[in-house]
């Protein structure tokens, strides 16, 4: 799936599919050591507020469920021109009341927010952009999850541990359909080249993300 620059709401898969793909990567990266990092956590992870991505450099993102089929995606990549555009882009123009407005306003005040998308009634939306805006960072931030082929490559690499391309496909299909059990997860993965898998932490992440719900 191609993401335009700047991004368009139709560039993203449904929030449910985006959640499943992102969550699967978070499950594969889960360790007890990372869980203990309450501050300055990096990588991909799930917690009580939602899904997170932080590369400790140029990009960070969060996907948060807001109940009743509603989700909010927000974050920043250094490629976003929203903060520097003149006149400033109002990222919350037309935003529904159920968004976490105070949190987003605080990020905006600190010049830490590159774009905001929200999902409701089966579709994504965002604030209108001026024609002169070149990029909002969505492509660099979310193409890794929007493109299914990219997700498959990620979960099959040496960092994440799917045992083969076929097993990566099976793993992702089960995650997208929320029927990924801990047993299936472990049977389709191997230890990444630099560490041993942490089954308890992976199981906790799996359950917290809801990928095991039938």
pLDDT in tens, 158-193: 889 877 889 999 999 999 999 999 999 999 999 988
Q: Is 206 helix (H, G, I), strand (E, B) or coil?
A: helix
Mean pLDDT lowest among 23-27, 71-75, 111-115: 111-115
Mean pLDDT of 97-101: 97
Count of CB atoms within 10 A of residue 104's CB?
18
Return the pLDDT at 163.
Answer: 77
Crossing angle (nearest 10°) for helices 148-155 and 15-29: 10
Q: What is the DSSP string of 152-196?
A: HHHHTSTTT-BSSHHHHHHHHHHHHTT---HHHHHHTB---TTS-
pLDDT above 90: residue 82: no
User: Two tokens at 65?
Assistant: 């469920």
Average per-residue pLDDT in the chain?
Answer: 93
pLDDT at 213: 77
> Is the distance from CB of 175 to CB of 20 less than 8 angstroms?
yes
Check: CB of residue 83 under 8 Å from CB of residue 111: yes
**pTM, rounded to two decimals:** 0.96
Tell me how far apart the alpha carbons of residues 209 and 23 are, in angstroms, rounded to a whole number.
Answer: 6
d(CA 77, CA 141): 6
CA proximity to 59, closest of 168, 137, 164, 176: 137
Q: Cβ contacts of residue 188 below 8 Å, gap of 6+?
A: 162, 163, 167, 168, 170, 171
- Which residues 6+ apart lie within 8 Å of 4 measured at CB? 11, 139
Q: How many residues are there in the chain?
A: 214
Q: Please give the Cα distance from 80 to 136 (Å, whole number).
A: 4
Rounded to whole angstroms, the Cα distance separating 142 from 61 reads 9
Q: What is the mean pLDDT of residues 71-94?
A: 90
């Amino acid at each position: 799936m191609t993401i335009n620059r700047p991004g368009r709401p139709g560039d993203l898969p449904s929030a449910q599919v985006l959640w499943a793909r992102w969550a699967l990567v978070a499950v594969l990266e889960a360790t007890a050591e990372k869980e203990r990092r309450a501050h300055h956590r990096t990588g991909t992870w799930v917690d009580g507020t939602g899904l997170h991505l932080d590369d400790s450099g140029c990009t960070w993102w969060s996907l948060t469920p807001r109940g009743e089929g509603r989700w909010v995606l927000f974050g920043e990549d250094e490629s976003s021109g929203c903060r520097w555009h003149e006149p400033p882009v109002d990222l919350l123009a037309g935003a529904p009341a159920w968004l976490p407005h105070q949190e987003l306003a605080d990020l905006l005040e600190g010049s830490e927010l590159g774009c905001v998308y929200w999902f409701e009634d089966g579709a994504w939306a965002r604030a209108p952009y001026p024609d002169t805006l070149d990029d909002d960072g969505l492509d660099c931030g979310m193409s890794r999850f929007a493109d299914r082929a990219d997700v498959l490559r990620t979960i099959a690499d040496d960092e994440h541990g799917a045992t083969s391309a076929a097993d990566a496909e099976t793993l992702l299909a089960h995650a997208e359909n929320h029927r990924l059990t801990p047993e299936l997860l472990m049977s389709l993965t191997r230890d990444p080249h630099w560490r041993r898998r942490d089954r308890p932490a992976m199981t906790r992440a799996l359950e917290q993300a809801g990928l095991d719900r039938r």
